[in-house]
Amino acid sequence: MSGQPNAETQAAMREAREMAARRNKELSPMDMDVEAELDALGKTAPRITPSDVLDHVMEEWYFTAAQGVEGAARYSGDGMIKLVPLDSPLHLLTFCVLVLRNGFTVTGESACADPATFDADIGQRLAREAALRKVWPLLGYELRTKLSGPLVQGADS
C-alpha cells in the first residue's frame, strides 16, 4: 500500500481546496467593520486581520453528525452498514473542519433546534464561522510569540 491518496481522495482534496479558496474571499461584515475602524484610527501595529485568518485556510470539509456516524460505521470493519434514521437529531448538527496551512485542523459546529428550519447551506456557513473564530487566537499567539523576540532566561532559571 502506497502512502499516496487514491485518485478519488485526491479529487476530493482538490475540491476542498477550491471551496476554501472561493469561500476565503468572503469576509464577515463585522470583521470588515472592525478592520475599517482600526484603519480609521491609524492603528498600524502588527495584528491579525480577517484576510490573515482566511489565508491560513487550505481546505474545508463539511458533514452532518449523521454522515459522520455512517462514515465511521462504514470503516469499522465489522461489515455492518449502519444508517441513521431520517428523524434523528444527528442530521441537524453540522460540522466544518478547516485544514490550515501548517496541517493543523480546527473544527466548528452548528446545531439546529427544529428540523423545520434546518438548511444545509446555513448550517455550513455557521459551522465555518465558528471554526474561523477558533483560528484567530492561534494566529494571535503565533504573532505575539514573534513580537516578543527571544526569550530571556531569568536569574533563577
pLDDT digits (tens, 9 = 90+) for 89-132: 999 999 999 999 999 999 999 999 999 999 999 999 999 999 99
Those residues with Cβ within 8 angstroms of residue 6's Cβ, 6 or more apart along the chain or in another chain = none
HSE (CB half, 13 Å, CA atoms) of 104?
9
Output the nine-digit C-alpha cell for 144. Answer: 505575539
Q: What is the pTM of this model?
A: 0.75
Confidence tier at 149 by pLDDT (50, 70, 90): confident
Grid cell, residue 85, equals 434514521
